[in-house]
A and B are shown apart, each in its own frame.
Chain A
Amino acid sequence: LAKTTQPISMDSYEGQEVNITCSHNNIATNDYITWYQQFPSQGPRFIIQGYKTKVTNEVASLFIPADRKSSTLSLPRVSLSDTAVYYCLVGDRGEYGGATNKLIFGTGTLLAVQP
């Protein structure tokens, strides 16, 4: 079962750049790394997905080193509305190491943005 490790919580102030790092030492060769955002009382929302190097969209950037054993979600100039739980996920492995069609969530990182 592929597993990720990320900090339980982080604090930041408005206008700062926030970097959340996730460790996934057992990531499989074909796996992508995906990040979700969850606000209180809502379902998770897809933020960004990448395989290697750097991916950027209108919300965030994702940095993945060559060994792919970790990844960093970067949120530029956060605001109060970015206060949420952020989940890092990689694919689940089946009994014989093959990809399954399910996504297993960890506990995520609670980002608290203060004025």
Chain B
Amino acid sequence: NAGVTQTPKFQVLKTGQSMTLQCAQDMNHNSMYWYRQDPGMGLRLIYYSASEGTTDKGEVPNGYNVSRLNKREFSLRLESAAPSQTSVYFCASKQGTPYNYGYTFGSGTRLTVV
């Protein structure tokens, strides 16, 4: 089972460049999430999509946009990358009610902005 697949795994951008991080899940989950994790820190929620057709801001949404393309796919876009966005980005998905916290995470995208 693939679970949650993130592409690319690594990326180096120059300041001001744009890019889209892709995430796809094959578990028929309703909700999908984007987190970032800086070195030595916990995960911080950027954006999430509780169901297909909806998106909401998390803790640190500035500088990012998201698209819930369909039930399987949730992309994260950096319009004008900044060095402060250097981080590891994790996508996650889950099924069920708000009280079900059984998330499945992808393996991450390591982004460096120079």
Contact = CB atoms under 8 A, between A and B. Distances in A.
Interface of A: 30-32, 34, 36, 41-46, 49, 87, 89, 91, 99-108
B90 interface: yes
Contacts, number: 61
Contacts of B58: 102
Interface of B: 4, 31, 33, 35, 41-45, 48, 50, 56, 58-59, 90, 92, 98-108
A52 to B, nearest CB: 13
B99 A99 contact: yes
B103 A44 contact: yes
B74 to A, nearest CB: 13
Contacts of B4: 43
Contacts of B45: 102-105
B107 A42 contact: yes
A42 B48 contact: no
Nearest to A45: B105
B70 to A, nearest CB: 18
A12 B47 CA distance: 36
Nearest to A28: B99
23 contacts: A30-B99, A31-B99, A32-B100, A34-B101, A34-B102, A42-B108, A43-B90, A43-B92, A43-B106, A43-B107, A43-B108, A44-B105, A46-B102, A46-B104, A49-B101, A102-B45, A102-B58, A103-B101, A104-B45, A104-B59, A105-B43, A105-B45, A106-B42
